[in-house]
A = this chain, B = another copy of it.
Amino acid sequence: MVSVPIQVTVWSEDLGERDAVRLVYPDGFHQTIAAGLRAELGSGASVRTATLPEPEHGLTSEVLSATDVLTWWSHSANDGVADDVAERVRQCVLDGMGLVVLHSAHLSKPFLRLMGTRCTLRWRNDEREVVWTVAPAHPIAAGVPSHFVIPRQEMYGEFFDIPPPDELVFLSSFSGGEVFRSGCCWTRGKGRVFYFGPGHETYPVYRQPEVRRILANAVRWAHVPVPSPIDTSSSPRLPRGWFEATGNL
């Protein structure tokens, strides 16, 4: 069985980040995240990047139709994403594209529209986060220790206003006493969505080996290699006996 590389598009807003950010991510998040995925996935993935300032934010129909999994980092510019691009991303997920939503993208338009809830949370800067694996058999936890520490990180805490996850993979605690469902899986339509909490812009979270491993696992998990023949673009009216006529009898 010849394995075809997963087509990954790594998106970030890339707003010519503030100096404090450039110290940590000199080429922008997308480059750091893409480099991590390339290192982890090797020939198993073909990774490109796209950013907000590009035409259609770099997420044209052509790009998305050639994307198996989209990773999305955004923060300041959540509201700056055009509605039609956000809706295009949502439609692609419903048709089978994987979506990996990172950190502050909990308030990004594609995620909000897919979840249907407010996705608000509590937050505070500069905490120690401990990430705990609560689903040891889950593919996204493969090779991830029972727990690991992110020395400095933004606290994201409950109540996180998301739909109850289909699968809860990671929980986090913070030195201030808060907890957070930091690794959550959902299926929406024919697509898979993973949210991962860690990743503040002023700390080198995406360079940490455990986080790189998790993002690579998430890309593999979110990839649906054999598309289902089910078409959900409309509610078809069927004649009586239609399924006998589809060749299965």
Contact A163–B186 (Cβ < 8 Å) = yes
Binds B, one of A18-26, A28-36, A47-55, A122-130: A122-130
**A130: B residues at CB distance < 8 A:** 177-179, 243
Collect the chain B residues with CB atoms within 8 Å of residue A146's CB: 158-159, 228-230
Known interface pairs A124-B238, A137-B190, A188-B117. Does A149 touch B181 (Cβ–Cβ under 8 Å)?
no
**132-157 of chain A: CB within 8 A of chain B:** 132-138, 141-149, 151, 155, 157
Could you tell me the distance between the alpha carbons of A135 and B159 in the complex, rounded to whole angstroms? 8
Cβ–Cβ contact A238 & B122, under 8 A:
yes
Chain B: CB-nearest residue to A213: B226
Binds B, one of A6-14, A57-65, A108-116, A194-202: A108-116
Contact of A249 among B115, B151, B226 (CB under 8 A): B151
The residues of B that contact A248 with a CB separation of less than 8 Å are 145, 147-149
Note all chain B residues with C-beta closer than 8 A to A142.
224-226, 228
Residue of B nearest to A120 (CB): B235
Q: Does A187 lie at the interface of the complex (its beta carbon under 8 Å from any beta carbon of B)?
A: yes
A contact face: mostly helix, strand, loop, or mixed: loop
CB of A27 within 8 Å of the partner chain: no
Q: Check if A161 sits within 8 Å of B1, measured CB to CB.
A: no
B117 touches A44 (CB 8 A): no
The answer to whether B143 touches A226 (Cβ under 8 A) is yes
Q: Are A136 and B228 in contact (CB under 8 A)?
A: yes
A17 to B171, CA, bound (A): 35
Alpha-carbon distance between A7 and B123 when the two chains are bound, in angstroms: 36
CB pair A173 B181 closer than 8 Å: no
Q: A158-B132, A172-B179 are in contact. Are A235 and B166 (CB under 8 A)?
A: no
Closest chain-B Cβ to A107's Cβ sits at a distance in Å of 7
Q: How far is the CA of A176 from the CA of B120 in the complex (A)?
A: 27
12 pairs from A and B in contact (CB 8 Å cutoff) = A117-B188, A118-B232, A124-B237, A132-B179, A136-B228, A137-B192, A143-B226, A147-B243, A148-B248, A163-B163, A164-B167, A171-B181
Known interface pairs A116-B188, A137-B228; 4 further A-B residue pairs with C-beta atoms within 8 A, sorted by A's residue number: A113-B116, A136-B190, A151-B249, A173-B177
